[in-house]
Amino acid sequence: MRARTAVIPAAGMGTRFLPATKAVPKELLPIIDTPALQLIIDEAAGAGFDHVVVVTSHAKPAIEAYFEPNPEVIAKLRSTGRGALADSLERTARDVRVTFAYQDEALGLGHAVGCARDAVGDEPFAVMLPDEIMGDSSLLAQMADVSEATGGSVVGLKHVPRDEVSSYGVIDPVGDLDEHGVVRVRTLVEKPAVDDAPSDLIIIGRYLLTPDVFDKIARVRPGAGGEIQLTDALRMQADEGPFHGVLRDVRRYDTGNPLGWLTAVVDLALDDPRIGDAFRDWLQHRL
Ligand code: UTP
């Protein structure tokens, strides 16, 4: 069965983006003029998903407010000749059904995914971290294909320099990547020492998971700070059945910290047909 639901965990505290995140959730910070969360939903829609579950917290009401219909703004845009913008505001609710699940204590990514259990049901589903933005939907679509073909979970992968592996979840691959960038995963190791790392392939913020992961999450023991790590549940899955990783040449930005966010905004602004030329001129002059 092909996954149709994408879970977007958005209940974290965003401490790396304080003080902005005191009032604005990290997931709503704009990439040019569009919240990061919207770009993630567009990526899911582009990969064929029709249901998005946003895991949020009651301390972040702005996330739900973003999805409220706004008839006054739409009417104003239409009456002032800005129908295309009005269309784009109305588009999300039409293309993708958005529902909410709640995690009121930030007890880690595994716990956040577990909070989406009822909303997902007994089906394969994607998990998309909203502080990683991809250039297009192709990685997620390929991961859904691989999961459908193998019947197991799939993680997105990226090569990093060896001396950086200790900051990430790292896979232990069975052999080499095939011509499509797919590799079977023996196991996963969270933040290994450089010398112990089984590869230089790290897990990025895209997952395609079979629903048995929910029982595994329920079995994970809390680690540092009481957090339930998703990687621990994935390791249980890899121990039991097929589990794959996909490496794909796709643009990717880490927008969860100020430097990464700025890099994404600058890079995407240079390509933006509305402002790219003017922005490039200004930047060249400035440099
Ligand atoms: P991060 O660790 O990047 O988010 O988690 P964070 O904890 O909000 O950020 P910092 O480190 O304090 O700056 C990746 C995604 O998972 C969500 C976050 O909202 C973010 O979008 N998350 C994380 C949850 O929903 N719940 C959690 O308990 C942890």
Any idea where the domains of the chain sit in the sequence? 5-256
Q: Are 205 and 128 in contact (CB under 8 A)?
A: yes
pLDDT in tens, the chain (287 residues): 899 999 999 999 999 999 999 999 999 999 999 999 999 999 999 999 999 999 999 999 999 999 988 899 999 999 999 999 898 888 766 779 999 999 989 999 999 999 999 999 999 999 999 999 999 999 999 999 999 999 999 999 999 999 999 999 999 999 999 999 999 999 999 899 999 999 999 999 999 999 999 999 999 999 877 899 999 999 999 999 999 999 999 999 999 999 999 999 999 999 999 999 999 999 999 99
Q: Measured from the CB, is residue 256 less than 6 Å from ligand 1?
A: yes
Q: Measured from the CB, is residue 107 less than 6 Å from ligand 1?
A: yes
Q: Selecting from 3.10.290.10, 3.30.360.10, 2.60.120.10, 3.90.550.10, what CATH number does the domain 5-256 have?
A: 3.90.550.10
Q: Are 201 and 164 in contact (CB under 8 A)?
A: no
For ligand 1, mutation pick of 17, 60, 109 (most atoms within 8 Å of CB): 109
DSSP 126-137: EEE-TTEEESSS
Q: Measured from the CB, is residue 129 less than 6 Å from ligand 1?
A: yes
Q: Measured from the CB, is residue 145 less than 6 Å from ligand 1?
A: no
Indicate the pTM of the whole model: 0.95
Tell me how far apart the 2 most distant CA atoms of the chain are, in Å.
64
Q: Measured from the CB, is residue 14 less than 6 Å from ligand 1?
A: yes
